[in-house]
Amino acid sequence: MVAALKLSDAINRKRDLKEAESDIDISSTDSENDSNNSAEEQEIVNIDFDFFNGNKDVDFHALKNLLRQLLGPQESNKLQLSPLADLILDSPTTTIKTDGQESDPYCFLSLIDYKSHNSSDFARYLSNVDTRLADFLKSIDNSSHTCALVLSERLINMPPEVIAPIYNITLEDASNALGNGKHYDYYLIVSRKFEVNVDADDDEKAGKSRKRVKTSEIDYFHEEDRFFERHAKIHFDSESRKGLISSYVVIDHASLVKSIEEVTEEVASW
pLDDT tens-digit series, residues 97-135: 999 999 999 999 999 999 999 999 999 999 999 999 999
pLDDT digits (tens, 9 = 90+) for 181-224: 999 999 999 999 999 875 555 555 555 555 555 667 999 999 99
pLDDT grade, residue 75 (50/70/90)?
Answer: very high
Quick one: pLDDT at residue 3? 43
DSSP 161: G
Quick one: pLDDT at residue 47? 75
Taking all residues of the chain, what is their mean pLDDT, rounded to a whole number?
A: 85
Strand residue runs (E) in 71-185: 93-97, 107-113, 147-154
Quick one: pLDDT at residue 188? 98
- Cα–Cα distance list, 127 to 41, 131, 134 (Å): 51, 7, 4
In a domain, 150, yes or no: yes
In a domain, 166, yes or no: yes
Give the domain CATH number at 254.
3.40.630.30
- pTM to 2 decimal places: 0.81
Q: Is 188 left (phi over 0), alpha (psi -120 to 50) or beta?
A: beta
Say whether pLDDT at 12 is over 70. no
Range of the domain at 15: 7-268
Domain count, the chain: 1
Quick one: pLDDT at residue 48? 82
In a domain, 127, yes or no: yes
Say whether pLDDT at 95 is over 80. yes
Nearest CA to 223 out of 198, 192, 196 is that of: 192
As beta bridge partners, residue 219 has 194
In a domain, 231, yes or no: yes
In a domain, 158, yes or no: yes
In a domain, 204, yes or no: yes
pLDDT above 70 coverage of the chain, percent = 77
In a domain, 1, yes or no: no
In a domain, 2, yes or no: no
